[in-house]
């Protein structure tokens, strides 16, 4: 199993550009989530999904959209990038019911917005 | 929403000493409390977790204790080793996970 994969590993955007961060898992996990990690602020939940077709907002959803058309994929879209979105983004999936249980994190995407 | 406070933000110990990191939370309905370790440049990985119906859990040199009445839980690492140096995050679950701000643990040989 590849586990949780994320692409790209690194990305530089100009203010106002849009892009999609890809996340995929091959463990048949129902629960998936996106976090951003900034220095001194831990991991903050952006959006999460308890299964295909169901998404919900986390702590910091503004400026981001998600969709979950399949169990495997959970892409994160930045609609109009801003310097405040410079961060490391982690996707994670969980086998447990409703997200209770070990979160398997992807390798992360380091995003810089200039 | 849930509010999670983690202390200390940095912790420096000598090899062989014990390390304790504490987290407090606000929502008494929270029912799952994991701890993650993140080495520099790597992804977070689960090291231990506890459910709300359990007061303590141990796994070799690592233990977690939960005080539901006081709404706090702690990570205990005994006989620390240099490879324990990392950032440690607590998290609290009630519908979704909320993470603490992290503790940078440095173990000096």
- CA dihedral of residues A62, A68, A74, A78 (deg, nearest 10): -30
Contact B98 A100 (CB under 8 A): no
Contact A42 B101 (CB under 8 A): yes
**DSSP SS3 for A53:** coil
* Mean pLDDT for the stretch of residues A17-31: 96
Distance CA A39, CA A44 (A): 11
pLDDT computed for residue A96 by the predictor: 74
pLDDT tens, A64-104?
999 999 999 999 999 999 999 999 999 999 987 778 899 99
Distance CA B24, CA B11 (A): 17
Per-residue pLDDT of chain B (109 residues; tens, 9 = 90+): 789 999 999 999 999 999 999 999 999 999 999 999 999 999 999 999 999 888 999 999 999 999 999 999 999 999 999 999 999 999 999 888 999 999 999 999 9
pLDDT computed for residue A39 by the predictor: 82
pLDDT computed for residue B100 by the predictor: 95
Chain-centroid distance, C-alpha A63: 13
pLDDT computed for residue A95 by the predictor: 87
pLDDT computed for residue A110 by the predictor: 97
Which residues does B contribute to its contact with A (CB < 8 Å)? 1, 6, 9, 31-32, 34, 36, 43-46, 49, 89, 91, 93, 95-102
A42 interaction partners in chain B (CB closer than 8 Å): 6, 89, 99-102
**DSSP SS3 for A99:** helix
Distance CA B50, CA B88 (A): 16
Tokens of A3: 């586990």
Residue at token pair 């220095």:
A39
CA closest to A6 among chain B residues? B43
Other Cβ atoms within 10 Å of B52 Cβ, number: 16
Q: What is the mean pLDDT of chain A?
A: 95
Residue at token pair 């898992």:
A25
Contact A42 B32 (CB under 8 A): no
């Amino acid at each position: 199993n590849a586990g949780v994969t994320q692409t790209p590993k690194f990305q530089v955007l100009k203010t106002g550009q849009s892009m999609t961060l890809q996340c995929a898992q091959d463990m048949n996990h129902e629960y998936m989530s996106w976090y951003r990690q900034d220095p001194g602020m831990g991991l903050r939940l952006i959006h999460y999904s308890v299964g295909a077709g169901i998404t919900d907002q986390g702590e910091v959803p503004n400026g981001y959209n998600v969709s979950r058309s399949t169990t495997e994929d959970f892409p994160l879209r930045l609609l109009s990038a801003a310097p405040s979105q410079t961060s490391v983004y982690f996707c994670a999936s969980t086998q447990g019911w409703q997200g209770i249980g070990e979160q398997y994190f992807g390798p992360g995407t380091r995003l810089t917005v200039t | 929403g849930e509010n999670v406070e983690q202390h200390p933000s940095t912790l420096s110990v000598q090899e062989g000493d014990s390390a304790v990191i504490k987290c407090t939370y606000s929502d008494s309905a929270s029912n799952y409390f994991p701890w993650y370790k993140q080495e520099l440049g790597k992804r977070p990985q689960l090291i231990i977790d506890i459910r709300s119906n359990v007061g303590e859990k141990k796994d070799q040199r690592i233990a977690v204790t939960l005080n539901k009445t006081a709404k706090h839980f702690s990570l205990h690492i005994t006989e620390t080793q240099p490879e324990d140096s990392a950032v440690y995050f607590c998290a609290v679950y009630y519908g979704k996970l909320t993470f603490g701000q992290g503790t940078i643990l440095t173990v000096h040989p």
